[in-house]
Amino acid sequence: MPSDTVPRVTVAISTYRRAPFWPRLVRALEAQTLGPSEFEVVVVDDGSPDDTSAVLQHLVAGTRLQLRAIRSEANRGQAAGRNTAWRAARAPVIAFTDDDCLPTRTWLETGLHAMEASHGIVVGRTIPNPEQTQLLVKPFARTVEDEGTRFFNTCNIFYLRHDLEAVGGFDETFSAHGGEDTDLAIRVRDNGVQPNYEPGALVFHDVHPGSFRRALKDTARWTGIPHVIARHPQLRSVLHWRTFWKRSHPLVILAVAGIALAPWQLPALVLVAPWVWYRIRVRPFCPGARRRVLALPGGFLLDLVEVVTMVRGSFRYRTVVL
C-alpha cells in the first residue's frame, strides 16, 4: 500500500505479456534489505493481451510493498512504458529493472548508496540467473550479461529523476527496435552526469531457452542500433572497425562472398573458414563440440539476418552500421 512518506527510490518497470514472471519478481523485491517504507514499485502493463493486468492487481492487493500497477490500453513499446513508470514515481531516484530479472537482496540498498555517493548514473552488475545456467548449453539461448558502463541496459540502472526530466526521458521513436536505453544514458551523460559502475548492485537475468525461431525474430528487430550510432557518432568507437556491430558480421559477409563465387572459383570457399573458426572456437552458439557444429547452419542464417537488419537500419537512419 502507498505510504504518506516520500520513498527514497522508485523501482520502475514496463511489462508486456509476462504474467507468470511477476509473483517471483515481487517476492524478490519483498526480500530487499532496504525497508519497504523506503521504496516503491511502479509497474506499467503496456497493453498486455494476456492476464498480466489481473495478476498485477492480485499482487498489489496481497503485498506489503508500495506497489502500483498502471494499465496502458495500447502496446506502445518499452520506451513509452518506462517513461510512464518513472513519471508516475514519487522518489528522487529511479531504479530500472525488467520483468525477466531477479534483483538480489541488497540490490536497492547498494545501488542507492552508490547513487547518494556519486549523484550520477549507477549501472549495476547483471549476470545470467545461476539457477538457469543449464539452459545455456542449448543453441541460441538468450540472456544478458553486463559488467560495466558500456551499453547502460535498463535491466539494472539507477538515475536521478531530475536527470531524466532534464533530457525528456526515453526517446519513444525507438519503439521496439532496441537501443533506447543506450540513447538515454548518452544524452544524460552528455548533460554532464557521470556514469558509475557498482558491481554490488547485482541482478540475475533469466536465461531464455534456445529457439532458432525466437532468435530469428529477436534478431530482425535490432534496427535501433544504427539509430543510436546516427544520434551519437562517438559510439562508433565501440563498434568493430568502427563499422560492424559484432565481430561475426565481417566474417559472415566474407563467407557469403565465398559461397557466391564458388560456382566459378571453387577455392573461394576458403573464405567461409574464418567464420566457421570463429563460431566453433571463439564465440560458439553453444558449448560442446558436436552441438557447436550442428548449430552452424542456423547460426549462419542468424548472423546473416543480423547484417541485413543493420543494412535496413542504416538506410533508415542514413548511417552505415553492418
Of 170 and 218, the structure prediction assigns the larger pLDDT to: 170
Mean pLDDT of 104-129: 96
- CA–CA dist 196, 123 (Å, integer): 6
- CA–CA dist 123, 241 (Å, integer): 26
pLDDT, tens digit, for every residue of 223-244? Answer: 889 999 999 999 999 899 999 9
Q: Where are the domains of the chain?
A: 9-210, 211-322
DSSP lists the bridge partners of residue 142 as 208
Rounded to 10 degrees, the C-alpha dihedral 210/214/216/222 comes to -110
- CA–CA dist 169, 161 (Å, integer): 9
Cell of 267: 577455392
Residue pair 141/286 in contact by the 8 Å Cβ criterion: yes
DSSP lists the bridge partners of residue 197 as 123
Mean pLDDT of 90-105: 97
User: Number of helices (H) and strands (E), helices first, in the chain?
Assistant: 12, 8
pLDDT, tens digit, for every residue of 124-179? Answer: 999 999 999 888 888 888 888 888 888 899 999 999 999 999 999 999 987 666 78
Q: How many CB atoms lie within 10 A of CB 316?
A: 14
Residue 84, φ and ψ in degrees, nearest 5 = -60, -40
Q: Counting Cβ atoms within 10 Å, is residue 260 exposed (0-12), middle (13-18) or buried (19+)?
A: exposed
Contacts of 192 (CB under 8 A, 6+ apart): none
- In 65-139 the beta strands, taken as DSSP E runs, fall at 66-72, 93-96, 101-103, 121-128
pLDDT, tens digit, for every residue of 27-71? Answer: 999 999 999 999 999 999 998 999 999 999 999 999 999 999 999
Q: How far is CA 241 from CA 140, 151, 162, 249, 250, in A?
A: 25, 18, 36, 11, 10
DSSP 168: T
| Amino acid at site 149 | T
Predicted confidence (pLDDT) at residue 289 exceeds the cutoff of 90: no
Cell of 43: 509497474
The CATH code belonging to domain 9-210 is: 3.90.550.10
Enclosing H/E stretch for 87:
helix 78-87
Residue closest to 97 by CA, chosen among 184, 201, 253:
201
Enclosing H/E stretch for 230:
helix 224-231
Cell of 8: 527514497
Residues 54, 56, 61: CA angle, nearest 5 degrees:
100
157-160 vs 121-128, strand pairing mode: antiparallel
- CA–CA dist 252, 38 (Å, integer): 51
**Which pLDDT score is estimated for 188?**
97
Enclosing H/E stretch for 186:
helix 180-190
Contacts of 279 (CB under 8 A, 6+ apart): 248, 285, 292, 295, 296, 299, 300, 303
Global pTM reads 0.92
Share of the chain above pLDDT 70, in %: 98
